[in-house]
Amino acid sequence: MSSTTADIENGPAEPLPIATASEARLFWIRFCRHRLAVVGLAVTLLLYLIAIFAEPIAPFDPNHSSARLVYHPPQAIHWLDNGSLRPYVLAFRLQRDPVTLAATYVPDPHRKVYLGLWVKGDRYDLWGLFPGDHHLFGPVDARQPVFLFGADRLGRDMLSRIVYGARASLSIGIVGVTCSLLLGIVFGGISGYFGGRIDWAVQRVIEFIISLPTIPIWLALAAALPKRWSPLTTYFCITLIISLIGWTELARVVRGRFLAIRSETYVTAAWLDGCSQPRIIFRHMLPSLTSHIIASVTLAIPLMILAETALSFLGIGLQPPAISWGALLKEAQDVNSLAEAPWLLLPGVAVAITVLALNFLGDGLRDAADPHAH
């Protein structure tokens, strides 16, 4: 056409990288603007790395108990040894108060236990498959115990137990949310796609489930699990229970987005182009759904983690010998034990950090998925 057309019509001059940036790239650019969300992403990835490689990362075997080291307090790391960088901790010894006969741990300044990276220590089988005995960090002399986070009532290293606990707690988050997602997509998708009576029925079921108070229902379901079952079966059942209640929120999101996208003009245009229904759903509608679903899923994981922690804490979730943060916190339930060893609360800090990081991440994903919402 004539050049005047181009003159009048040139919209805002978009640089080529932005103009050819796909929606996925734009999503990433929008996400990176939220600094807290990026921090959340980094922390989450770090936590999952720790959970995956728990065996070499934990300095000790989490089940190694020692009657002499019951409720050993945490040992502080001293970084400089006579001016050079050689981190060490001071070994503690038991000292009895002559009057009250109460035993307390005091640090012994003459016994230094040096720490190192990639040291040889307790044997393990990575994922039950690969034997090894090197740990990311730990005492240079493997026979010396080091308790950076203290020890519990059986003398077991809290740091190692917390690292192993990450595996159970975080994986329940992922598995649970996968189940919820499947249920949510199926029901939400069916509800949004068919509409009419089916939609009405599914909506009423969802409302019913949402209106039930979750924790009493969980208690009832979890208490119904036979105690005889193996930890693995219990694990899966707990995951299933938690995800059964949580899928409703995902189903609502899926249905809501589905309905919103379906009424978009470009979907009608695709139908007029001659696209088949599956093609419309998978190539035209699904990409829009994906970013919202990712955001909702990420925000659902912390709820699962909190739920498992609560149930295990009460004794009806994962139970010893299984190690999860909730099960670890059960030890802290008795106030007298807690008074003696406040470091028993540290798994709670781990829970809080995980949930916080996931919430920041999920919030950032949600903002990036729908920039017009705010």
Site for another protein in 194-233 (CB under 8 A): 208, 210-217, 219-221, 223-226
Q: Quick one: which segment of 76-84, 124-132, 151-159, 263-271 binds another protein (CB under 8 A)?
A: 263-271
Q: SS3 for the chain, per residue? A: CCHHHHHHHCCCCCCHHHHCCCHHHHHHHHHHCCHHHHHHHHHHHHHHHHHHCHHHHCCCCCCCCCHHHCCCCCCCCEEEECCEEEEEEEEEEEEECCCCCCEEEEEEEEEEEEEEEEEEEEEEEECCCEEEEEEEEEECCCCCCCCCCCECCCCCEHHHHHHHHHHHHHHHHHHHHHHHHHHHHHHHHHHHHHCHHHHHHHHHHHHHHHHCCHHHHHHHHHHCCCCCCCHHHHHHHHHHHHHHHHHHHHHHHHHHHHHHHHCCHHHHHHHHHCCCHHHHHHHHHHHHHHHHHHHHHHHHHHHHHHHHHHHHHHCCCCCCCCCCHHHHHHHHHCHHHHHHCHHHHHHHHHHHHHHHHHHHHHHHHHHHHCHHHC
Is residue 309 involved in binding another protein (CB under 8 A)?
A: yes
Is residue 265 involved in binding another protein (CB under 8 A)?
A: yes
Is residue 7 involved in binding another protein (CB under 8 A)?
A: no
| CB 43 to another protein: min, Å | 12
- Of residues 15 and 109, the one with the C-beta less far from another protein: 15
**Other C-beta atoms lying within 10 Å of the C-beta of residue 367:** 17
Query: Looking only at residues 270 through 289 of this chain, which bind another protein when binding is defined by CB under 8 A?
Result: 270-276, 279, 284, 287-288
Is residue 335 involved in binding another protein (CB under 8 A)?
A: yes
Is residue 22 involved in binding another protein (CB under 8 A)?
A: yes
Q: What are phi and psi of 123, to 5 degrees?
A: -75, 155
Is residue 5 involved in binding another protein (CB under 8 A)?
A: yes
Is residue 104 involved in binding another protein (CB under 8 A)?
A: no
Query: Looking only at residues 126 through 185 of this chain, which bind another protein when binding is defined by CB under 8 A?
Result: none
Binding-site size, another protein (CB under 8 A)? 74
| CB 109 to another protein: min, Å | 27
- Tell me the C-alpha distance between 284 and 14, whole Å: 25
Is residue 293 involved in binding another protein (CB under 8 A)?
A: no
| CB 111 to another protein: min, Å | 29
- Of residues 111 and 204, the one with the C-beta less far from another protein: 204
**Tokens 């007298």 -> residue:** 336
Q: Quick one: which segment of 3-11, 154-162, 165-173, 180-188 binds another protein (CB under 8 A)?
A: 3-11
- Of residues 108 and 264, the one with the C-beta less far from another protein: 264
- When binding is defined by CB under 8 A, the residue of 19, 99, 101, 232 that contacts another protein is 19
| CB 152 to another protein: min, Å | 15
| CB 69 to another protein: min, Å | 22
**Tokens 């019509």 -> residue:** 9
- Of residues 49 and 353, the one with the C-beta less far from another protein: 353
- When binding is defined by CB under 8 A, the residue of 253, 297, 327, 332 that contacts another protein is 332
- Of residues 243 and 291, the one with the C-beta less far from another protein: 291
- Of residues 231 and 348, the one with the C-beta less far from another protein: 348
**Binding mask 25-64 vs another protein (x if CB under 8 A, - otherwise)?**
-x--------------------------------------
CB-CB contact of 325 with 309 (8 Å): yes
